[in-house]
Structure 1
Amino acid sequence: MKEEIILPLVLVAVCIISVTWAEWNQIARDHILQIHNDYRRNEGACQMNELVYDMDLEAQAKTWALGCYFEHEIVEGRGENLAYDIRHIAEAKLRIHYAMRWFDEKALYTRGQADCGKSCHYTQLVWDKTEKVGCYSYRCPELNAMDKIVKNAWYLVCFYTPFGNLVGHDPYQTQCDTPCRDGQTLINGLCVGQAIIPCVDLGEHCDYWQSVGHCKGEYEAYMKENYKVYDDDDDDDDDDDDDDDDDDDDDDDDDDNAIAQNM
Structure 2
Amino acid sequence: MSTNLVTPAVAALAVVFMASVVAATSVDDWKLLDTTLPANQEVIVNVHNELRRNVAPTASNMLKMAYNEQAAGNSRLSAAACSSTHSARSARTWKTPQADDLTMHEPGSSSSSEWDCGENIFMSSNPRSWDEVVHSWYDEVTSPGFQYGKGATGPGAVGHYTQVVWYKSHQVGCAVNYCPNHPGDLKYFYVCQYCPTGNLDTRINKPYDLGTPCQACPHSCDNNLCTNPCPYADKYNNCRELFNTYGCGNNSGGTFVQANCPATCKCRTEVQ
* Superposition deviation, residue 139 in structure 1: 1.4
Paired residue for 1:98? 133
Alignment of 1:28-177 (within 5 A): 28-43=40-55, 44-75=58-89, 76=109, 77-86=116-125, 88-89=126-127, 91-92=128-129, 95-107=130-142, 108-113=145-150, 118-143=157-182, 149-151=183-185, 153-169=187-203, 170-175=206-211
* Cα RMSD for the two superposed structures: 3.3
Equivalent pair of 1:21/1:138 in contact (CA under 8 Å): yes
> Cα 1:69–1:177, aligned 2, differ >3 Å: closer, same or farther?
closer
Residues 108-142 of structure 1: per-residue CA shift (max 9 Å, x gap): 22222379972100000000011100000111112
> Partner residue of 2:11?
none
How far 1:214 moved relative to its partner? 4.0
Q: For 1:180 and 1:164, how far apart are their aligned partners in 2?
A: 19
What secondary structure, in the 3-state scheme, does the structure 2 residue paired with 1:141 have? coil
Q: 1:18 Cα shift? A: 5.2
For residues 38 and 158 of structure 1, what CA distance do their matches in structure 2 show?
17
Q: Which residue of 2 aligns with 1:180?
A: 216
33-42 or 101-110, which deviates more: 101-110
Counting matched residue pairs gives 186
Shift of the 219–134 alpha-carbon distance from structure 1 to 2, 3 Å rule, reads farther
Instruction: Write the distance in 2 (CA, Å) between the matches of 1:137 and 1:153.
Output: 11
In 2 relative to 1, CA 39–177 (structure 1 residues): closer, same or farther, beyond 3 Å?
Answer: closer
2:28 is matched with 19
- Of all paired residues, the percent bearing the same amino acid is 24
The two structures have a TM-score, normalised by structure 2, of 0.59
**TM-score, with structure 1 as normaliser:** 0.61
Counterpart CA distance in 1 for 2:140 and 2:238 is 26
- Per-residue CA shift, 1:222-245, capped at 9, x if unaligned? 879xxxx98xxxxxxxxxxxxxxx
Q: 1:241: which partner in 2?
A: none
Instruction: Give the partner amino acid of 1:120.
Output: G
Farther off after superposition, 22-31 or 52-61: 22-31
Paired AA for residue 64 in structure 2: E
Q: Which residue does 1:146 correspond to in 2?
A: none
Note if contact 1:61-1:135 (Cα within 8 Å) is conserved in structure 2: yes
Q: Structure 2: how far apart are the matches of 1:179 and 1:221?
A: 20
Deviations 1:196-238 (A, max 9, x none): 47xxxxxxxxxxxx4xx3458x7525879xxxx98xxxxxxxx
Contact 1:142 1:152 in 2 (8 A): no
Q: Which residue in 1 is equivalent to 2:226?
A: 191
5+ residue gaps, structure 2? 1-24, 90-108, 110-115, 244-251, 254-272
| Local SS of the residue matching 1:69 | coil
Which amino acid in 2 is paired with 1:112?
G
Indicate conservation of the 8 Å contact 1:115/1:166, yes or no: no
